[in-house]
Structures are given as C-alpha cells and as structure tokens.
Amino acid sequence: MSDKFSNKISVIVPLYNVEKYIINCISSLTNQTYQNIEIILIDDGSTDNSGRICKKLAQEDHRIIYLRKENGGVSSARNLGLQYATGSYIGFVDSDDYISKTMYENLLKRLLETNADIAETDFALIDNRFTKKKRKKIQKVLNKEEAIREFLSGNVVENNLVIKLFKKTVIANLKFKEDVIVGEDMLFSLQALQNSDRVTVDTTNADYFYVVRSNSTMNTITEKDIDNLSILEQEFKKIDIPQLKSYLEAKLIREKVKFVSRVLISNKAHLYSDIIDRYLQEVRHYSIKNMINFLSSKHCLTITIMKISPKLYTLLYKVFQKQ
C-alpha cells in the first residue's frame, strides 16, 4: 500500500459494564498493524470499573479518546462516536469482542485496491464450547444493486457492522435509530449500501472475534423486537428499486422466522401468541417458488419445518444444540 498510513481510520467502541472484556478489546485495536487509527470509546453510563480502565488506557495512548454519557443504548453511543470521528474511514467494534491485528490493514487495502466504499471481512463465534468461523471463502466486488441483493438474501453481505470498514463519505449523513434495540446494524448497513457504489467482500480469514455472552441482548426477547420488525418494514417500503422487491420480501420473512424461532426456543410463545400466529400465517403463505429463488437452502429448510410444525422445529433445534 503506497503511503501506507496516510488514511486515518476512526474506530467507534460503545461500552457498558464490560470490565472483564474491555482491556482485551482495546489491546486488539492498539496493536493493529495499521497504526493510523483513532479509538473512540463511548462509555454509555457504566457502573463498574469500565470507565476507570478506559481513562487509564487513554492517558497511555494518544490515539484513544474516552467519552462518557448517560445511558441511552448502543445506537446513541455510536451516534456520539460519529460526531467525534475525524478519520476518512469508519469502523465499529463491540466492547466485549476483539479483532485480529491485521483486520483494518486488510480492509483498507481491499477498499483502495478495488475503489470500493465498503469492505467486509468474516468473523468467528467464540464461546466456552467452540470457535467457529462464520462463512466459507468468498471474494467478490459488487455494485450497489448486487450488494443490496446479496445483503437481503444473506448469501454474501452480512448485517453486521463490526466486520465492515466504511468510507466516511458513505455514512456521513446517517444516524443510528435510537428507538431500535435489536437490528440497528441491519438498518444502518442497508442505508450505507444505498449510498455506496461498490462493496468488496473477502472472507478468506476471520478477522473479527464475537464473544458469545449469556446476558447478551440477542438472547433476550422484548416488545421492542416486534416494534423493530415494523420499523424494518417501513424502511423497506422506502427502497424504490423494483427488481429488489422479492428480495425485500424474502428478507422480511427471514427476520420474522428468526423472531418466531427465538420465541419458541425460549418457551415464551404464550406471551406473544397473537404476533406468533400472524407471522406463522405469513410464513405458511410464502410460496415455495420464492423460497427456492430468494432464500438459501438453510433458510428454506428452516421455513419448511416451521410450516409443517413449529413444535417440531423447536424439538429439532434443541436436539441439535445438545450435539
């Protein structure tokens, strides 16, 4: 890469009560092979030692900026980070995760080589039982329509912000929806894709390590999840690209199936019976032709089993989880 470190990367890290994880996270950022980065730590009102740890690290490394705010959620913390970011490129990292030492050098190199606006790598799931790389090897450069299509189908472009590097110009006028608790990555990514001309994806290596925590918001279900799906439907209606209509419908079906799945597995169906019944009706009426054309084989199998019997789906899920 010519003039290797001339392009500053701003990395935004929202944090809340992560004293057990934050040092590992920040160390993975300060030890990047690409050194021209600013690390913006947004403390969302932590009540543990997270703030003290971050202040100390900020005193030791001039690239670290520590900001504290009242608790308002991940989206509000990220929005504050965007206000302070001075880099030409923007990345996001969650405070309980960590990254490979070459992640940002690799992503920036791909952006510059392909003249893309967004670069994406792969991630691995880390928990007490296993380390699992998310995807098979993919190396693609996509135009806007291709990228949105692959994002909606879930085949190439992921929802996750944290495995992406954005040109600042692509997201300069975007804000995270602060009333969305789960799915904020998806909405922001979709808006960024609409602002982009080219996206590069390389999943040869897993550069981001997602630490699975039992108390993660992804493991809880609230009324907000239903609200989020309604917001997602409204956002999809704003996309005026006729050839993507079927992909948008498929994405909504996938998200509703995901919600139903989470509710069934958590044994909370009795709390959401009306919405579950409505979503299952939509799933049952979703045509086999559209399933084959617009969904992966994995999603087709999930929907088929759910069409046959939600109880069977729950049973099979729990059986396979024990293996």
User: Model confidence over 251-302: pLDDT tens digits?
Assistant: 889 888 888 888 888 877 778 888 888 888 998 899 888 888 888 788 888 8
Q: Are residues 166 and 287 in the same domain?
A: no
Query: Residue 306 sits in which domain range?
Result: 221-322
- Least confident interval from 44-48, 91-95, 191-195, 318-322: 318-322
Specify the CATH number for the domain of residue 113: 3.90.550.10
d(CA 280, CA 260): 8
Residue 2 located in a structural domain: no
Residue 216 located in a structural domain: no
CA atoms within 13 A on the CB side of 179: 8
Do 151 and 241 contact (CB within 8 A), yes or no? no
Q: In whole numbers, what is the pLDDT of the chain averaged over residues?
A: 88
Which pLDDT belongs to residue 32? 98
Using DSSP's 3-state secondary structure scheme, residue 181 falls into: coil
Which pLDDT belongs to residue 2? 45
Residue 81 located in a structural domain: yes
Asked if the model's pLDDT at residue 149 lies above 60, the reply is: yes
Q: Which of 266, 243, 247 is nearest to 321 (CA)?
A: 266
Which pLDDT belongs to residue 1? 47
Asked if the model's pLDDT at residue 307 lies above 50, the reply is: yes
Q: Which amino acid is at 64?
A: I
In sequence order, which residues have a C-beta less than 8 Å from that of residue 26 and are 6 or more positions away? 13, 39, 41, 54, 57, 64
d(CA 225, CA 210): 22
Confidence of residue 212 (pLDDT cuts 50, 70, 90): confident
Q: Are residues 140 and 261 in the same domain?
A: no
Condensed to tens digits (0 to 9), the pLDDT of residues 155-190 reads: 899 989 999 999 999 999 999 988 766 678 888 999
Q: Are residues 247 and 131 in the same domain?
A: no
Sequence-distant contacts of 279-284: CB under 8 A, at least 24 apart: 280/306, 280/310, 282/253, 282/256, 283/253, 283/256, 283/257, 283/307
Condensed to tens digits (0 to 9), the pLDDT of residues 116-132 reads: 999 999 999 887 655 66
Asked if the model's pLDDT at residue 321 lies above 90, the reply is: no
Q: Are residues 188 and 304 in the same domain?
A: no
Condensed to tens digits (0 to 9), the pLDDT of residues 40-73 reads: 999 999 999 999 999 999 999 999 999 999 999 9
Number of domains in the chain: 2
Q: Are residues 182 and 287 in the same domain?
A: no
d(CA 122, CA 271): 36
Q: Are residues 195 and 289 in the same domain?
A: no
Q: At what angle do helices 184-195 and 144-153 cross, to 10 degrees?
A: 160
CA atoms within 13 A on the CB side of 298: 5
Asked if the model's pLDDT at residue 112 lies above 60, the reply is: yes
Last residue of a domain, one of 186, 211, 236: 211
Do 40 and 118 contact (CB within 8 A), yes or no? no
Sort strands 89-92 and 9-15 into parallel, antiparallel or unpaired. parallel
Last residue of a domain, one of 170, 190, 211: 211
Token pair of 143 as six digits? 């135009």
Q: Are residues 143 and 230 in the same domain?
A: no
Asked if the model's pLDDT at residue 217 lies above 50, the reply is: no
In this predicted model, which residue has the larger pLDDT, 308 or 51?
51
Condensed to tens digits (0 to 9), the pLDDT of residues 223-239 reads: 667 777 888 888 888 88
Q: Which amino acid is at 241?
A: I
Using DSSP's 3-state secondary structure scheme, residue 232 falls into: helix
Last residue of a domain, one of 193, 211, 229: 211
Residue 132 located in a structural domain: yes
Asked if the model's pLDDT at residue 219 lies above 60, the reply is: no
Q: Are residues 76 and 147 in the same domain?
A: yes
Condensed to tens digits (0 to 9), the pLDDT of residues 9-47 reads: 999 999 999 999 999 999 999 999 999 999 999 999 999
Asked if the model's pLDDT at residue 208 lies above 60, the reply is: yes
- The C-alpha angle 71, 125, 74, rounded to 5 degrees, equals 15
Question: What's the average model confidence in pLDDT over 89-106?
Answer: 98
Asked if the model's pLDDT at residue 85 lies above 60, the reply is: yes
Instruction: For residue 52, report the phi and psi dihedrals to the nearest 5 degrees.
Output: -60, -45
Which pLDDT belongs to residue 221? 62
d(CA 13, CA 74): 9
